[in-house]
């Protein structure tokens, strides 16, 4: 599974340009799903039909993981070849200075700031530029409208993994691996690899309307607070997947939360509960689709979310897969 994670993290895919990520995922799941399609917005929708008969109505479960990553878009180019940028998603100005960026054509750049060579105060996004090493505007292969994503090396350090875009390529990896390991299920599984989550949960909103699931579970990261001087630690690396209770846009359905917690307890899967004070997931958009959907989220704790070098625990990733496979492998009781 680590090789799958590495491949996903290496692929360029900012919000609105998820094609390469989608192509990779399509190849990875082609032999484990019964149907695939791409909707008008670009979501990859894969269906795994029930393999067992069951009494009563089959449960349609939507699993959502977003393919896009945050980045920047070129908004202006000056005569000396420096690029001014607009943010795409929640970019933290104080985290990107001196880090590398990657464009779709392979061009690399580094983020700098106006004024002194050493920035002592909190940087202003309006003063940040991208330097691709050009000495004039004419040398550039990129221009206004082109997008760049943050790039640092994927590192496997045993249990701890590092990458610039675990949000949410790690969720995509969990969803792919779940589809591979879920051999038998009485439920209809609709795996949706969504687009444009980082700019407003847009792909999930349209997919949820079209798919009409009975239940939705989003797979995403959550901020790990197990670092020095953090007073409130919502989750910690190595303590298992985080089952969401609440975030800023959603209160998880209590029945969905109980189902996931009971599954974790029954199979002795380490887990923790999550209350997130900043941010949300695809589940929030699907929850209020049509007449409403029972919604929950399973999160992978991550240090340094929305920063160019993020960290997750590999045991948490594997336990997230275990939780999903066991939860979906049998009939889902009425909530």
Cβ neighbours of residue 270 closer than 8 Å, sequence gap 6 or more: 239, 240, 241, 264, 315, 319
- Residue 197 a catalytic site member: yes
**C-alpha 181 chain-centroid distance:** 20
End-to-end CA distance of the chain: 33
- Strand ranges for the chain from DSSP E: 35-38, 44-48, 60-66, 71-77, 83-88, 100-103, 108-113, 128-131, 147-150, 155-157, 160-163, 188-194, 215-223, 242-246, 272-275, 294-302, 310-313
Q: Where are the alpha helices (DSSP H) in 67-160?
A: 93-96
How many CB atoms sit inside 10 A of residue 290's CB?
11
Q: In what order do the strands lie in the sheet with 310-313?
A: 155-157, 160-163, 310-313
Given the residues 18, 69, 197, 198, the one annotated as active site: 197
Please tell me whether residue 207 adopts helix, strand or coil conformation.
helix
Is the separation of the CB atoms in 290 and 212 below 8 Å?
yes
Please tell me whether residue 31 adopts helix, strand or coil conformation.
coil
**CB-facing half-sphere around the CA of 323: CA atoms within 13 A:** 31
Please tell me whether residue 213 adopts helix, strand or coil conformation.
coil
How many CB atoms sit inside 10 A of residue 119's CB?
18
Closest CA to 203 of 40, 22, 47, 58: 40
Q: What is the distance between the alpha carbons of residues 322 and 178, in angstroms, rounded to a whole number?
A: 8
* Residues annotated catalytic, as ranges: 197
């Amino acid at each position: 599974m680590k090789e799958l994670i590495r491949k996903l993290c290496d692929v360029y895919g900012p919000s609105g340009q998820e094609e390469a990520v989608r192509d990779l995922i399509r190849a990875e799941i082609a032999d484990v799903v019964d149907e695939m399609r791409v909707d008008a917005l670009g979501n990859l929708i894969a269906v795994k039909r029930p393999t067992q008969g069951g009494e009563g109505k089959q449960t349609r479960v939507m699993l959502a993981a977003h393919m896009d990553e945050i980045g920047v878009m070129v908004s202006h180019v000056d005569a000396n070849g420096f690029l001014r940028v607009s943010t795409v998603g929640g970019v933290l100005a104080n985290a990107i200075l001196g880090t590398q960026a990657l464009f779709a054509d392979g061009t690399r750049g580094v983020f700098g700031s106006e004024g002194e060579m050493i920035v002592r105060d909190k940087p202003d996004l309006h003063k940040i530029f991208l330097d691709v090493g050009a000495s004039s505007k004419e040398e550039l292969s990129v221009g206004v409208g082109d997008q760049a994503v943050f790039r640092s090396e994927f590192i496997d350090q045993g249990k701890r993994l590092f990458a610039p875009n675990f949000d949410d390529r790690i969720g995509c990896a969990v969803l792919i691996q779940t589809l591979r390991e879920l051999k038998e299920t009485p439920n209809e599984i609709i795996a949706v690899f969504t687009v444009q989550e980082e700019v407003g949960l847009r792909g999930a909103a349209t997919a949820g309307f079209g798919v009409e699931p009975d239940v939705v579970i989003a797979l995403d990261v959550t901020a790990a607070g197990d670092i020095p001087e953090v007073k409130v630690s919502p989750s910690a690396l190595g303590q298992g997947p985080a089952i969401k209770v609440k975030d800023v846009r959603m209160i998880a359905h209590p029945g969905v939360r109980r189902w996931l917690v009971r599954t974790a307890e029954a199979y002795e899967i380490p887990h923790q509960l999550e209350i997130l004070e900043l941010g949300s997931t695809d589940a929030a958009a699907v929850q209020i689709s049509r007449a409403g959907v029972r919604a929950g989220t399973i999160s992978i704790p991550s240090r340094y979310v929305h920063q160019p070098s993020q960290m997750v625990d590999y045991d948490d990733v594997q336990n997230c897969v275990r939780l999903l496979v066991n939860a979906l492998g049998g009939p889902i009781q009425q909530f």
